[in-house]
Amino acid sequence: MKAINFEERSKKIQNRIIEKDIDLFLITPSINFGYLFRGFFSLSERLICGIIFPDDQTQLIAPSFEKERMQIETTFDDVVTWQEEENPYEVLRKSTDKKIKTIALESSTPFDVYIRLKKQFPYANFINGGIFVKELRSIKNDAEIERMKKAANCTAEGIINTLDIIKESQSELEALKIVQEQMSSLSNEPGWAIVQFDENSAIPHGHPSKKKLKKDSIVLIDAGTTCDHYFADITITSVFGKASKEFLKIYSIVEEANEAALSTSEEGIPAENVDFAARTVIEDAGYGKYFTHRLGHGLGLEVHEDPYIVKGNKNPLVNGNVHTDEPGIYIPNKFGIRIEDDILISNKGERLANINRKLWK
């Protein structure tokens, strides 16, 4: 598998902060921290903070007892440590060794951290630097796409295996456990899922319950596993037995909408046009009021990220974007059908995984 070039990512951020005349970019543990510096771990009460300077330098502020772990789990060679009795924010300020006018903060930085930084840099102007990382993350390179394709294929295979394994009288919660196990056995990483039977499938993003599987039940599984932190997000709606005429009719409409969105997903096309393409198919078939959510969202280190495929997003799609294509029709108290693929923009849209979804009799 192709290696992730973290140095290139930091360099691109450095170029942006030079353009914007920013003195420091500070990043506390977050998805963006992991994206830039490899380390994926949670915030704690002890300050850990990555620093990107405009002059090719990066530095990490961390508790002294964490130094060895940080050098193993992150890309930092330069780790400035603080002792438990010290003020870590004062250590951070002293480590910058120059007058600071403008500081960019990663957008998920806790307010408490901002207040403590403001005390150390009272004359600095603080701005949101999250947009710089967001721009980078929205365009996937070959190494990222390789990971996402693996995650998508493991997810699809795990869902299909589950549909083959589940038995009558099992609950949604039991099926949830099966699909998570099936995906994780393929990816060797954790998985998440939503499992809904029959009328529960008409609730977009409902929670699995003790509802039992019956003969000819409709089964909706929305799930994803990861590959090296990169997510997939796929939905397969099927039937545990024989499909009714009504199911087949509505399924064909959703399938056509899914295909319309795929064919519209091209470089340079406004994101909202992809939503319009799918929505028009469903509206023309008379089911517009039953398609109640946006068509899709970006995908990567988070299940929901840029670009969002929704009315009002006029930003053009670009090569390297990955987004979901998930039209649905949800008829209350009856059933819902959602067909969801993960789409890569590479001149035209292409599915990360090609799936044989029609598993019913």
pLDDT digits (tens, 9 = 90+) for 175-228: 999 999 999 999 999 999 999 999 999 999 899 999 999 999 999 999 999 999
Determine the Cα–Cα distance for residues 18 and 138; give it in Å rounded to an integer.
21
Please state the domain extents for the chain: 6-137, 142-351
pLDDT above 90 (res 159): yes
pLDDT, tens digit, for every residue of 75-128? 999 999 999 999 999 999 999 877 899 999 999 999 999 999 999 999 999 999
pLDDT above 90 (res 56): no
Query: H or E element: which one contains 325?
Result: strand 322-325
- Percentage with pLDDT > 90 across the chain: 96
Determine the Cα–Cα distance for residues 200 and 232; give it in Å rounded to an integer.
23
Determine the Cα–Cα distance for residues 28 and 142; give it in Å rounded to an integer.
27
List CB contacts of 159: < 8 A, sequence separation 6 or more: 179, 182, 183, 221, 223, 234, 236
Query: H or E element: which one contains 308?
Result: strand 305-309
State the average pLDDT for the chain.
96
Q: Please state the length of the chain.
A: 361
Q: Which of 63, 38, 37, 31 is nearest to 50 (CA)?
A: 37
Q: Which of 174, 153, 151, 159 is nearest to 238 (CA)?
A: 159
Determine the Cα–Cα distance for residues 147 and 153; give it in Å rounded to an integer.
10
Determine the Cα–Cα distance for residues 25 and 147; give it in Å rounded to an integer.
28
Strands (E), 148-205: 191-197
127, two tokens = 């701005």
**Banded model confidence at residue 361, pLDDT cuts 50, 70, 90:** confident
List CB contacts of 294: < 8 A, sequence separation 6 or more: 275, 308, 309, 310, 311
At the topology level, CATH places domain 6-137 in Creatine Amidinohydrolase; Chain A, domain 1 (3.40.350)
Query: H or E element: which one contains 94?
Result: helix 88-96
Which one is predicted more confidently, 234 or 43? 234
pLDDT, tens digit, for every residue of 334-344? 999 999 999 99
**Which is the CATH superfamily of the domain at 142-351?**
Creatinase/methionine aminopeptidase superfamily (3.90.230.10)
First to last CA, the chain: 39
For residue 341, the model assigns a pLDDT of 98
